[in-house]
A and B are shown apart, each in its own frame.
Chain A
Amino acid sequence: MAIKEISVKDLAEKVLQKEELFLLDVRTEDAFQDWKIESENFTYLNIPYFDLLDGVEEIEDQLPKDKDIVVACAKGGSSQMVTEMLDEAGFTNVYSLEGGMKAWSEHLMPVKVSDLTDGGELYQFVRIGKGCLSYMVVSNGEAAIIDSTRKTDVYVNFAEQMGVNIKHVFDTHLHADHISGGRTIAQQTGAAYWLPPKDAEEVTFDYQPLEDGEKVTIGNTTIDIHALYSPGHTIGSTSFVVDDQYLMTGDILFIDSIGRPDLAGKADDWVMDLRETLYERYKDLSDELIVLPAHFMIMDELNEDGTVAEKLGVLFEKNHGLNIEDKDEFRKMVTENLPPQPNAYQEIRETNMGKIDPEEEEQREMEIGPNRCAVR
Chain B
Amino acid sequence: MNVTKVLDAKGLACPMPIVKTKKAMKEVETGETLEIHATDQGAKSDLTAWAKSSGHELLQHDEEDGVFKFWIQKG
B18 touches A50 (CB 8 A): yes
B41 touches A50 (CB 8 A): no
CB contact between B15 and one of A31, A49, A365 (< 8 Å): that residue: A49
A28 touches B22 (CB 8 A): no
Shortest distance from the beta carbon of B43 to any chain A beta carbon, whole Å: 11
B68 an interface residue at 8 Å Cβ cutoff? no
Taking CB atoms, residues of chain A closer than 8 Å to B59 are none
B49 touches A50 (CB 8 A): yes
Report the separation of the CA atoms of residues A51 and B52 in the bound assembly, to the nearest whole angstrom.
Answer: 11
Scan A49-90; emit 1 where CB is below 8 A from any B CB, else 0.
111010000000000000000000111011001000000000
A51 touches B45 (CB 8 A): no
A361 an interface residue at 8 Å Cβ cutoff? yes
Shortest distance from the beta carbon of A29 to any chain B beta carbon, whole Å: 7
A53 touches B22 (CB 8 A): yes
B41 touches A78 (CB 8 A): no
CB contact between A81 and one of B15, B42, B49, B50 (< 8 Å): that residue: B15
CB contact between B41 and one of A49, A51, A73, A365 (< 8 Å): that residue: A365
Shortest distance from the beta carbon of A85 to any chain B beta carbon, whole Å: 11
A110 an interface residue at 8 Å Cβ cutoff? no
Scan B3-27; emit 1 where CB is below 8 A from any A CB, else 0.
0000000000111101100100000
A74 touches B53 (CB 8 A): no
Taking CB atoms, residues of chain A closer than 8 Å to B15 are 49-50, 53, 73, 77-78, 81
Contact A73-B53, Cβ < 8 Å, known A28-B45, A50-B46, A53-B22: no
Secondary structure call for the A interface: helix
Secondary structure call for the B interface: helix
Which of A29, A30, A50, A77: most chain B Cβ within 10 A?
A50
Report the separation of the CA atoms of residues A78 and B49 in the bound assembly, to the nearest whole angstrom.
Answer: 15
Taking CB atoms, residues of chain A closer than 8 Å to B13 are 75, 77
Taking CB atoms, residues of chain B closer than 8 Å to A78 are 14-15
Report the separation of the CA atoms of residues A36 and B33 in the bound assembly, to the nearest whole angstrom.
Answer: 34
A48 touches B41 (CB 8 A): no
Tell me the count of chain B residues lying within 8 A, CB to CB, of chain A.
Answer: 15
Scan B27-59; emit 1 where CB is below 8 A from any A CB, else 0.
000000000000001100110011001100000
Scan B52-72; emit 1 where CB is below 8 A from any A CB, else 0.
011000000000000000000
Shortest distance from the beta carbon of B17 to any chain A beta carbon, whole Å: 10
The closest CB in chain A to the CB of B48 belongs to: A28
CB contact between B18 and one of A29, A53, A361, A365 (< 8 Å): that residue: A53
Report the separation of the CA atoms of residues A29 and B49 in the bound assembly, to the nearest whole angstrom.
Answer: 8
Shortest distance from the beta carbon of B3 to any chain A beta carbon, whole Å: 22
Contact A73-B45, Cβ < 8 Å, known A50-B50, A50-B53, A53-B22: no
Report the separation of the CA atoms of residues A322 and B19 in the bound assembly, to the nearest whole angstrom.
Answer: 52
Q: Show 29 A/B contacts (Cβ-Cβ < 8 Å), sorted by A.
A: A28-B46, A29-B49, A30-B45, A30-B49, A31-B45, A48-B46, A48-B50, A48-B53, A49-B14, A49-B15, A49-B18, A50-B15, A50-B22, A50-B50, A50-B53, A51-B53, A53-B18, A53-B19, A53-B22, A73-B15, A74-B14, A75-B13, A75-B42, A77-B13, A77-B15, A77-B16, A78-B15, A81-B15, A361-B41
Given contacts A28-B49, A78-B14, 10 further A-B contacts (CB under 8 A): A28-B45, A30-B49, A50-B22, A53-B15, A74-B14, A74-B42, A75-B14, A77-B14, A81-B15, A365-B41
